[in-house]
Amino acid sequence: MHIIYFVIFIRISTPSTHINTFTFHTSSKNTSYVLGILISFHFFSFIHYTSQRRPHLERMYEIVSTLGEGTFGRVMQCIDHRRGGAHVALKIIKNVEKYKEAARLEINVLEKINEKDPDNKFLCVQMYDWFDYHGHMCISFELLALSTFDFLKENNYLPYSIGQVRHMAYQICLAVKFLHDNKLTHTDLKPENILFVNSDFTMSYNVEKKREERTVKSTAVRVVDFGSATFDHEHHSTIVSTRHYRAPEVILELGWSHPCDVWSIGCILFEYYLGFTLFQTHDNREHLAMMERILGPVPSRMIRKTRKQKYFYRGRLDWDESSSAGKYVRENCKPLRRYLLSEAEEHHQLFDLIESMLEYEPSKRLVLADSLKHPFFENGGSEATGSKTWEGNRDISR
């Protein structure tokens, strides 16, 4: 088995002390750290260090559990002994250049967010610290709870209540407006990247459905994962966003900016309200067909401008409704308002908000400054906190 050694450190108060030969030196502080963790990407284990000679040693991070893993590496729940024993999430990146570069870009964005929103008024995840140890990038974050998707999944995809949707929607709009105000597009908004601060819940029994159902106690959320976030002046990749939340201008390669995030938010709110994905597909042509079934025809201007003419014929979507795929779309998609679960005013207000976020034309799509004033939020959501921008001509982008 190929073992990759990694670190959770033990703090030493003296400047250059070495124990066992494994030390880590920071350039910013005259401090050394001693290797205290062995990590393989096949398993994680904690090596407990004791020292009779140096009883003043203090571990920096102590692993509690694995929170998740992906191609980039793993995320561990740790106790940060420098923060008074606070629990944190430590994102550990594999020593692979493409993942390391992505981590550097994410760190840059997170540092700018921390700089301009030190009190976390705008609900983006807080980065506490980062370091590079022998090529492994590590990022320490505030510890959050389940994602809004994972809670939905663990609750058998029972939708959130209209009040819960309202509060989460307001917070997401506030957070992403803050990014947009500061010339940044998230590009990968989805329920998996909206995390609850605390996902504790109450249980009740649904007699009609004969099952236990969970209700989250607090709908306070944070926006996470800035690995794909892009400043306005930077190179914009042709394709961004996870498929189901991808805006039409991205599919048609017409260029994108802040409005692609707004489209994603519209898809997210629909999913919270219904419990399932609005555009459940993995194919561009089928995706466009679903959009037309739910939202109406793609505007002729967008059809004329796109390089993706293979999806169109004589100015219309080239789609065979009699095919098996055509039948699937016809049976599984319907005009947006027909998804309403109630005729109550607040439900119609939500769908009015979603419709304005799902405008085909990016220039006509709702901007988030206006979304926060939408009638849907008049019955609650959150107190407006105002917007703090990255002001002046100072270049804060990477």
Percentage with pLDDT > 70 across the chain = 80
Q: Biggest alpha carbon distance in the chain?
A: 82
Evaluate if residue 173 carries a pLDDT over 60: yes
Supply the residues annotated as catalytic.
Answer: 188
pLDDT-derived band at 82, boundaries 50, 70, 90:
confident
CA dihedral 367, 373, 377, 382 (to 10 degrees): 90
In this prediction, residue 56 carries a pLDDT of 35
- Partners of residue 91 on adjacent β-strands: 75, 139
First to last CA, the chain: 38
Evaluate if residue 2 carries a pLDDT over 80: no
Cβ atoms of 249 and 231 closer than 8 Å: no
**Annotated binding-site ranges:** 91
| Three-state secondary-structure class, residue 306 | coil
Evaluate if residue 129 carries a pLDDT over 80: yes
If you ran DSSP here, which 8-state letter would residue 94 be given?
-
In this prediction, residue 380 carries a pLDDT of 67
Two structure tokens written together for 269: 């709110």
pLDDT digits (tens, 9 = 90+) for 216-237: 999 999 999 999 999 999 999 9
Evaluate if residue 384 carries a pLDDT over 80: no
pLDDT-derived band at 31, boundaries 50, 70, 90:
very low
Evaluate if residue 6 carries a pLDDT over 80: no
pLDDT-derived band at 63, boundaries 50, 70, 90:
confident
Measure the CA angle with vertex 398, ends 73 and 183; round to 5°: 105
Evaluate if residue 58 carries a pLDDT over 70: no
In this prediction, residue 359 carries a pLDDT of 99
d(CA 269, CA 274): 9
Evaluate if residue 10 carries a pLDDT over 50: no
pLDDT digits (tens, 9 = 90+) for 234-291: 999 999 999 999 999 999 999 999 999 999 999 999 999 999 999 999 999 999 999 9
In this prediction, residue 381 carries a pLDDT of 61
In this prediction, residue 157 carries a pLDDT of 96
pLDDT-derived band at 383, boundaries 50, 70, 90:
very low
In this prediction, residue 382 carries a pLDDT of 54
Evaluate if residue 133 carries a pLDDT over 80: no
pLDDT digits (tens, 9 = 90+) for 321-380: 999 999 999 999 999 999 999 999 999 999 999 999 999 999 999 999 999 999 999 876
